[in-house]
Amino acid sequence: MKFATEYLWFETQTQRAYINITDDVARIVADSGIREGMVLVSAMHITAGVYVNDAESGIIQDIDEWAERIAPFRADYHHHRTGETNGDAHLKSLLIHHEVIVPITDGALDLGTWQQIYYAEFDGMRRKRVIVKAMGE
């Protein structure tokens, strides 16, 4: 079995952002030489996430509004007693989750017709990373 690992780095200009990373992950898979297997894509921060969905601006806005409704930015999170002000970002990360696993078939990502891989940032404007680990034969 072969393994290939790369990191993607982000420093968003806004507190919340949704970045399509499908092409980056596809390049890493292609460069790995792995023909059959899977790729793990995981945010390495507890205030960010990775998900698979449509690359359509309306659904991205719906996801953002949904996460904000469930875990709105506010001042009274218990986490803020530590001096932090990002309690909502931790909760939004739990909603989206921090990782996805995508199949590799014939040396390429095996996504559905409209599926794309996204990095979701909930506490931006600082440097963060995502690990991409391809595994297979």
Where do the domains of the chain lie?
A: 2-136
Q: Which is the CATH superfamily of the domain at 2-136?
A: YjbQ-like (2.60.120.460)
- The whole-chain average pLDDT of the chain stands at 98
Which helix H or strand E contains 68, and what residues bound it? helix 57-70
What is the distance between the alpha carbons of residues 72 and 58, in angstroms, rounded to a whole number? 20
Q: Can you name the residues that pair with 104 across neighbouring β-strands?
A: 37, 109
pLDDT score of 47: 98
Structure confidence by residue, pLDDT tens digits, 52-70: 999 999 999 999 999 999 9
What is the distance between the alpha carbons of residues 72 and 67, in angstroms, rounded to a whole number? 7
Q: Where are the beta strands (DSSP E) in 35-74?
A: 37-43, 48-54
Structure confidence by residue, pLDDT tens digits, 70-115: 999 999 999 999 999 999 999 999 999 999 999 999 999 999 999 9
